[in-house]
A and B are shown apart, each in its own frame.
Chain A
Amino acid sequence: MNKAKLKRMTRKTEFYMLIVLLLLCVVVQIKSGGKLITLPGVFTRLNVTVLRTMVVDGMFAMCSLVVMISGGFDLSFPAIAALSYSLATTICLNNGWCAANPLAGFALAVAIGWVLGMLNGWIISNFKLNTMIVTLGTQTFFTGISMGLLKLKEITSTLPEGMKTFGKLYIFESADPASGIRFTLSAMVLFLIALCAIVSFMLNKTMFGRALYAIGGNEVSAERAGYNVKKTKFLLYSAVGALAGFIGMIRVCMESQSIPKAMIGKEMTIIPAVILGGASIYGGEGTVFGTMVAVGIISLVSNSMLILGIDTYWQQFFNGLVILVGVTVSALQAKRQKQ
């Protein structure tokens, strides 16, 4: 039994990604002289930074993952996030909201994201078009709205206080023993954990999640099996829109600034990570665990470049290389399984 289980495990991409992540951790730990994890305190400046970068990227990766499982390809979620957070912060700023807490901002961003997501969902579910092309169109359209029609401006120092203080919340505080610099573990990590749990539950334990896998596997069969494909797709894209708005707002709070341009091209770094985590571009495959491992690898690599002795200018190249190798390995494996 154990042997069969082991065999099944080694067939999955996640398994190899996990090994890569662990090896990478060991290398960074040795190279940095034990700066990645210290005992008994566990948290260090380095791993806190890695976790911090994982929050927004990991949450976006969840958006991309659920769409990819359903066999779709969403290019528009960064544009939705950008439009919702910049519009929401501008409204809050003009009305003097969010002085104490950022709730109004979050509500607005989620509502705007939801509406934009519904537009995606309506087009995709009604007209059965190629999702990549539709979302390319809506991405261009949403960017045009936020920066052309509404001319939303960058908000940096004037950001409502409520958002700033919310973004600075932390659940752990310590000081670097060597330099004495204070570091904190951002409380936003909790949102990432919660989202992972929710998405994981949704994918594995609900009819909606099963419907996503079924549609991604074979849309016609899913329809024959009684799933309401049209409704599921509409719900999926509107939910992803709302979620993108929410994530955008978290980013605004964490960075204490709202920059409409900041999200351009973000999809090109998130989607490869999701693919690296074992999600199939043809749909029907992908797990929360694998995706998070891949996001972990990428954040670890990009945050420990200096420790690994790599010039920061080479960072993008090595990120690309890691993804290329990961994608090749999983493609070869899929080929081997077919034979």
Chain B
Amino acid sequence: MKTKTLQKHSYTLMLLGLMAVVLLFFTVLKGGMLWKGDVWLGIAMQFPEYGVVTLGLMFCFICGKMDMSFMALGDFATIMAVQYMAAHADSPAGGVILVGILIALGIAVVGGLINGLLVSELDIPPVMATISMQLVWTGLSVALTSGNTVKGLPALYTEIGHKYLLGFLPVPLLIFLVIFALCWFLLNHTVYGEKLYMVGTNIKAARFSAINTKRMVVGTYILCDVICCIGCLLMVNTMASAKADYGTSYVMRCILILVLAGVLPDGGMGKIGNVLIAIVTIQIIATGVNMFPNLNTYYASLIWGGLLIVVLIMSTRVGEGGLKLPGMKKRQKA
């Protein structure tokens, strides 16, 4: 019984081990520097923005679909929102911010709907459909802003983002935790979550089990893009502006985190808890690299890339009784 539980959570244990190794590595090299309060506060401030985006993309991956357009769409949505907020700077800030956020989320719904329809109604392979949409959204953003940064956010917007709840909990982290809890509930305790794993594992079998797969796919794309858009709104808060290419570098990072967490785009796999561990590990690496004055940020991508390859290879080397991706058995049969 006990070994069975261990086996069931072997991937989580491996990720935790990985995190421990990373922590140990930086502790040995940098001594106590890693264990200062403000370093961890920095970590807590930085990961929520792409953490939220990763959680959104996770739904697409579990559904067995790919989305490459989420960041381009998020950038476009936030540009529209910031432009609206900047244009109505003289009205009361609270209402303007609310309308701005609603505009961004509305655009995300439309973008998700387009993605979903392209994939489910026209049968375009997800990667193709979403790469094309990525080009379209980025193109629209560049065209409407002439490639410039959009500024003029109400001061209240950035103020909220830099507040601490109860004196220690940064608001972005709070938003991340709320969304994490919602996603966790959605995946593990609702009919939707159950169906999502089924669609991701085998879409044909799911269709014959009376699941409306088309509606599931469209709904998942909308959900994914809306959550990603919330992440982009957090990013706007850090940057205090919006631009056509702010999110571009995050696309690959989010995919990397998910794959590291064992959520493969083949579908039907992965646990949300592992995603959280992977997000934090990736941020610890970035922060750790930043502590060396003579290393630039590209060292982090060196470690991320190397780590991804090693974890991928490890996940194939082990069979029964060893390391197992959640849901891996099904994949090997297919």
Q: Given A123-B309, A128-B316, A328-B118 in contact, is the A147-B143 Cβ separation under 8 Å?
A: no
A314 in contact (CB, < 8 A): yes
| Residues of the B chain whose Cβ atoms lie less than 8 Å from the Cβ of A130 | 264-266
Bound together, the chains give a CA A266 to CA B255 distance in angstroms of: 18
Check if A315 sits within 8 Å of B305, measured CB to CB. Answer: no
Bound together, the chains give a CA A316 to CA B147 distance in angstroms of: 11
Bound together, the chains give a CA A317 to CA B298 distance in angstroms of: 30
| Residues of the A chain whose Cβ atoms lie less than 8 Å from the Cβ of B265 | 130, 132-133
Residue-wise, chain A 311-330 has the 8 Å CB interface mask toward B (1 for contact) of 10111111111011001100
Bound together, the chains give a CA A281 to CA B309 distance in angstroms of: 23
Bound together, the chains give a CA A316 to CA B301 distance in angstroms of: 27
Bound together, the chains give a CA A139 to CA B256 distance in angstroms of: 11
Check if A317 sits within 8 Å of B302, measured CB to CB. Answer: no
| Residues of the A chain whose Cβ atoms lie less than 8 Å from the Cβ of B139 | 314-321
A134 in contact (CB, < 8 A): yes
Check if B143 sits within 8 Å of A311, measured CB to CB. Answer: yes
A145 in contact (CB, < 8 A): yes
Bound together, the chains give a CA A137 to CA B259 distance in angstroms of: 10
Check if A335 sits within 8 Å of B123, measured CB to CB. Answer: yes
Q: Given A127-B313, A335-B123 in contact, is the A144-B302 Cβ separation under 8 Å?
A: yes
Q: Please give the distance in Å from B2's CB to the nearest CB on chain A.
A: 31
B3 in contact (CB, < 8 A): no
Question: Which of A258-284 touch B at CB < 8 Å?
Answer: 265, 268-269, 271-272, 275, 281-282
Check if B303 sits within 8 Å of A136, measured CB to CB. Answer: no
B312 in contact (CB, < 8 A): yes
Check if A275 sits within 8 Å of B128, measured CB to CB. Answer: yes
| Residues of the B chain whose Cβ atoms lie less than 8 Å from the Cβ of A314 | 139, 143
Q: Please give the distance in Å from B202's CB to the nearest CB on chain A.
A: 17
Which of the four size classes fits the interface of chain A?
A: 35 or more
Bound together, the chains give a CA A310 to CA B133 distance in angstroms of: 20
Residue-wise, chain B 221-246 has the 8 Å CB interface mask toward A (1 for contact) of 00000000000000000000000000
Residue-wise, chain B 296-334 has the 8 Å CB interface mask toward A (1 for contact) of 111111111110110011001000000000000000000
B135 in contact (CB, < 8 A): yes
B146 in contact (CB, < 8 A): yes
| Residues of the A chain whose Cβ atoms lie less than 8 Å from the Cβ of B140 | 317
Question: Which of B134-183 touch A at CB < 8 Å?
Answer: 134-140, 142-143, 146-147
Bound together, the chains give a CA A252 to CA B49 distance in angstroms of: 37
| Residues of the A chain whose Cβ atoms lie less than 8 Å from the Cβ of B259 | 133, 136-137
Residue-wise, chain A 107-148 has the 8 Å CB interface mask toward B (1 for contact) of 000000000000000010001111011101111111111111
| Residues of the B chain whose Cβ atoms lie less than 8 Å from the Cβ of A175 | none
A149 in contact (CB, < 8 A): yes
Residue-wise, chain B 55-87 has the 8 Å CB interface mask toward A (1 for contact) of 000000000000010000000000000000000
| Residues of the B chain whose Cβ atoms lie less than 8 Å from the Cβ of A328 | 118, 122, 124
Q: Given A147-B296, A313-B147, A323-B135 in contact, is the A123-B123 Cβ separation under 8 Å?
A: no
Check if B128 sits within 8 Å of A320, measured CB to CB. Answer: no
Q: Please give the distance in Å from B206's CB to the nearest CB on chain A.
A: 20
| Residues of the A chain whose Cβ atoms lie less than 8 Å from the Cβ of B68 | 268
A23 in contact (CB, < 8 A): no
Q: Given A133-B259, A331-B122 in contact, is the A320-B136 Cβ separation under 8 Å?
A: yes
Q: Beyond A129-B313, A320-B132, A327-B128: 18 further Cβ-contacts under 8 Å?
A: A73-B127, A123-B313, A127-B316, A129-B312, A130-B264, A133-B312, A140-B252, A140-B308, A143-B298, A144-B298, A145-B302, A147-B296, A148-B295, A281-B127, A317-B139, A320-B137, A321-B136, A335-B123
Interface of B toward A, CB cutoff 8 Å: 68, 118, 122-125, 127-129, 131-140, 142-143, 146-147, 248, 252, 255-256, 259, 264-266, 295-306, 308-309, 312-313, 316
